[in-house]
Amino acid sequence: MARFFDELESIGALPTEPKFRVVTHSGRTRVWGRNPKTGEEYYGPELKFSRFPQLQQAIDAVVGEGIFDLSAEGKGPTTIRPFDLYNADNYAARRPEILWKEPYSFSVHCKRREKITHFLHSPFGCKCEIKPDEPAIFENPWNHKLIQTSALASARFWIQISIDDWLIPMIIDTLEILDTRFLATANSVFGVEFTQGCICNDD
C-alpha cells in the first residue's frame, strides 16, 4: 500500500494535501443498534479511528491487522483525475450539468477484510451470507439500469475512490471509467487486474 500511494503521488493522482486515516478494531464490542419492538440490543465490534499526517505512520498502524481501512483524504482536482466529474444538481432529472473544475473532497481507500465480504455489506465484522459465484452487478446512477461486470460481488481487498456527494462521474453503459494510468498503477502494484464498480449515495 505504501508503494501504491507513493506511485499515485508520483504521477499526480493522489489527493492534494493528503491526511491519512486508519480504521481498525479496538478489540471491544459496543451496541450497534436496538430492535424498536423487542428492545433487543445488537452488538458489533467497536472501531478505532486514527489520523496521521504521514503515510508511513498509517502503514505502521495496520501492520498485523486482519481488518482495516487505510485512506488518503484530501482535495481534488489532481493532475491526473480518476475520472471526469459533473455537478449532480440535476441528478433527479438524470442529466449532467457542467464539467466540474472547482476544488472538491477526494479520497482513496484501501479496504481489507479478514474473510471474503460482499462489497455492499462490508462493515467490520459483517456476517452477511456470501454467494461464491455471485456476479458484481451495479446500478448506473444516471438511469438506474444494471451493469454486470466480469468480476464477483465479493472480495477480501479492494480500492475505493470517494468524492463529494454532489458530484458524479459520467457513466453510459460501462463502468470502465477510471483513468488508465490510475488503473495501471493499481494493477501493477498489487499484481492483480482490478475490475471497476460504482456505489452511489442517492441521498
- Please state the pTM of the whole predicted model: 0.86
3-class secondary-structure state, position 184: helix
Q: Is 118 a residue whose pLDDT tops 60?
A: yes
Q: Does 64 or 124 have the greater pLDDT score?
A: 64
Residue 122 gets the label, from left (phi > 0), alpha (psi -120 to 50) or beta, of alpha
Q: Where residue 203 falls among pLDDT bands split at 50, 70, 90?
A: very low
Residues whose CB is less than 8 angstroms from the CB of residue 28 and which lie 6 or more positions away in sequence, other chains included? 45, 46
State the Cα–Cα distance between residues 102 and 94, nearest whole angstrom.
22
8 Å CB contact between 65 and 8: no
Helix boundaries (H) for 72-191: 180-190
Residue type, 173: D
3-class secondary-structure state, position 180: helix
Domain positions in the chain are 2-27+42-190
8 Å CB contact between 4 and 18: no
pLDDT 10s digits, 80-104: 999 999 887 655 555 566 788 899 9
Q: What is the pLDDT of residue 92?
A: 54
7-16, 18-27, 44-53, 149-158 — which one is most confidently predicted on average? 7-16
Q: Is 176 a residue whose pLDDT tops 70?
A: yes
State the Cα–Cα distance between residues 76 and 36, nearest whole angstrom.
42
